[in-house]
């Protein structure tokens, strides 16, 4: 009888530990089914902290360009989808992003908080850092101010410097391999549009493709490390094609 009780107790403990670790491994509607949506609760949650740090990276060079804006909008859709009342969650996350993008005094504090919130999962910390680096490459190159903010976040999170530089170097190499479209014909073909289409139609096609190929921080869970890199490369090709068409049309 004593052995049965001991096994039952151990089973309960292992189940609790498993559930605790699982909480940090995946994000789903089931994970957040009892989550109370509010500004304070989202700002303290690891996904809210990630949004706040994304704002720092996106605005590091002084502006949020068109592709970054598209990626941020898609990211907010992805993240808010796991919370109850997704529309309410997205509105609050958008407020957090807009408030945090103009602040530079709390980067270390937010990074420390994110590190603490995800301390049970190095894989999740790796994923967050990879997404932040990916965002900094969205406009094709990383400015000195972006690199400084990324390094500050990595240091505050006590992220392995060797792993950080390996991720950064991978994206840098990948960007060098993204070749501009050689002709307008190639650009139109990539976007799936015709030279006879107006810019409104072309922009709609562009935004649809960016949404289709953008790195999804929720769906990326469990996928290979190359997922974000491949999605980023495809997004860059789509953006270059769109910019070529815009430039040709004045």
Query: Domains (ranges, CATH) in the chain?
Result: 39-176 (1.10.3680), 184-248 (1.10.287.110)
For tokens 């490459």, name the residue: 137
Percentage of residues of the chain with pLDDT beyond 90: 55
Q: pLDDT band at 180, cuts 50/70/90?
A: low
Of residues 90 and 3, more confidently modeled? 90
C-alpha 67/C-alpha 236 separation (Å) is: 9
Q: Rounded CA gap, 87 and 29, in Å?
A: 14
pLDDT over 60 at 25, yes or no: no
Model confidence pTM above 0.75: yes
Which DSSP helix (H) or strand (E) runs through 172? helix 161-176
3-class DSSP assignment, residue 101: coil
96 has a pLDDT exceeding 90: yes
Short-list 213, 221, 216, CA closest to 76: 216
DSSP structural state of residue 180: P
Using the Cα atoms of residue 122, residue 39, residue 34 and residue 228 in order, give the sign of their dihedral: negative
Q: Hunting for tokens 């101010």 — which residue is that? A: 145
The alpha carbon dihedral of 157, 159, 165, 171 has a sign of negative
Which pLDDT value is given to residue 216? 78
Buried-state track 191-227, b at ≥16 Cβ within 10 A, e below 16: bebeeebeeeebbebbbebbeebbbbbbebeeeeeeb
Place 231 in a pLDDT band, splitting at 50, 70 and 90.
confident
Q: How far apart are CA 75 and CA 131, in angstroms?
A: 10
Q: Token match 């970054």: residue?
A: 68
CA–CA distance, 15 with 49 (Å, rounded to integer): 28
List all residues 6 or more positions away from 153 whose beta carbon is below 8 Å from its beta carbon: 53, 56, 57, 107, 111, 129, 132, 159
Reported as a single tens digit per residue, the pLDDT across 70-93 is 889 999 999 999 999 999 999 999
Average pLDDT score, the chain: 84
């Amino acid at each position: 009888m004593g052995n049965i009780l001991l096994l039952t107790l151990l089973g309960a403990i292992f189940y609790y530990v498993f559930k605790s670790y699982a909480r940090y491994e995946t994000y789903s509607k089931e994970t957040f089914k009892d989550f109370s949506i509010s500004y304070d609760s989202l700002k303290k949650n690891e996904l809210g902290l990630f949004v706040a740090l994304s704002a720092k990276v996106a605005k590091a060079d002084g502006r949020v360009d068109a592709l970054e804006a598209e990626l941020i909008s898609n990211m907010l859709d992805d993240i808010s989808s796991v919370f109850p009342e997704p529309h309410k969650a997205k509105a609050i996350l958008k407020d957090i992003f807009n408030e945090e993008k103009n602040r530079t005094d709390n980067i270390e504090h937010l990074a420390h908080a994110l590190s603490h919130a995800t301390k049970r999962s190095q894989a999740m910390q790796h994923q967050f850092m990879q997404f932040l680096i990916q965002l900094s490459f969205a406009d094709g190159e990383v400015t000195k101010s972006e690199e400084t903010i990324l390094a500050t976040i990595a240091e505050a999170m006590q992220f392995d410097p060797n792993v950080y530089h390996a991720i950064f170097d991978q994206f840098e190499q990948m960007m060098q391999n993204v070749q501009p479209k050689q002709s307008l014909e190639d650009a139109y073909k990539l976007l799936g549009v015709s030279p006879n289409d107006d810019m409104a139609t072309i922009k709609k096609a562009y935004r649809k493709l960016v949404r289709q190929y953008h790195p999804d921080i929720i769906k990326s869970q469990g996928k290979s490390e190359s997922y974000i890199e491949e999605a980023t490369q495809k997004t860059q090709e789509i953006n270059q094609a769109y910019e070529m068409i815009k430039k040709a049309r004045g």
